[in-house]
Amino acid sequence: MTNNKIKDGIYLVIDPCEDNEKIRTTLQKIPAGAIAAVQIWDNFKKGIEHYKMLILEIAKLCKQKQVPVIINNHWELVEALDLNGVHYDTKEMAEQSIYKLSEEVITGITCNNDLDIVKWAGEHRLSYISFCSIFPSSTANSCELVKFETIQQARKIIDIPIFLAGGIKAENIHLLSTLEYSGIAVVSGIMSSSNPINAINQYNNNTKKYL
């Protein structure tokens, strides 16, 4: 199974329940090439139909900047809304649908300290994996803390991109210097910032030292 590639860098995760106008404004201001991808978290509290227009708007804005849009778990929306990929929270979710997707679709999965998931992702040639949670985080509070040793072992097992997520801030990125990774996934560190574009620049400047 051949998947589309995902480039290195900042992977921005958007909560659709946040202020929609801020989401639009932030995406409009992000320079082309400044981020690797946008993932829409499936926090659809009002039902998925309520958010489809927002998802379409996000897809349109990101397409203008050549930034792929990835939906969390809802693989059926990839083709329906012309998105670029799907990110699965569990292996069970991925197993149910991964072979129903076109080989052009970007696929990723959340990993923890279970290296069997890492091996599975490599064997099925997913586009990337994302370890969660690296540090304590309010937006990743359902994830266990991942041991750095697990990430180091994963790099020896697979050759696909590794992203890190959960509680990563510009001021603690230096703690990741012993790890080999492709990028970081960020939610509140950018979207809750009073200056999200400046936050993106800070993340990019800091991660470039280690990627």
Asked whether residue 129 is domain-assigned, the answer is yes
pLDDT digits (tens, 9 = 90+) for 178-191: 999 999 999 988 99
Asked whether residue 164 is domain-assigned, the answer is yes
The whole-angstrom separation of Cα 108 and Cα 61 is 22
List the CATH number of the domain containing 168.
3.20.20.70
Q: What does the pLDDT read at residue 138?
A: 73
> Is pLDDT at 89 greater than 90 in this prediction?
yes
pLDDT digits (tens, 9 = 90+) for 21-47: 999 999 999 999 899 999 999 999 999
Range among 2-6, 60-64, 188-192, 197-201 rated most confident: 60-64
Asked whether residue 15 is domain-assigned, the answer is yes
The whole-angstrom separation of Cα 106 and Cα 137 is 26
Q: Write down the H helix ranges in 34-142.
A: 48-64, 76-80, 91-97, 115-123
Compare 144 and 106 and report the one with higher pLDDT: 106
> Is pLDDT at 123 greater than 80 in this prediction?
yes
Asked whether residue 1 is domain-assigned, the answer is no
Show Cβ contacts of residue 78 under 8 Å, excluding neighbours closer than 6 positions: 71, 84, 85, 86, 101, 105
Asked whether residue 3 is domain-assigned, the answer is no
SS3 label, residue 144: coil
Task: Give the count of domains, the chain.
Answer: 1
CB distance 35 to 14 below 8 Å: no
Q: What does the pLDDT read at residue 2?
A: 43
Show Cβ contacts of residue 207 under 8 Å, excluding neighbours closer than 6 positions: 9, 10, 173, 183, 184
> Is pLDDT at 4 greater than 50 in this prediction?
yes
Asked whether residue 4 is domain-assigned, the answer is no
Range of the domain at 135: 9-207
Asked whether residue 169 is domain-assigned, the answer is yes
> Is pLDDT at 10 greater than 50 in this prediction?
yes
Asked whether residue 96 is domain-assigned, the answer is yes
The average confidence (pLDDT) of the chain is 92
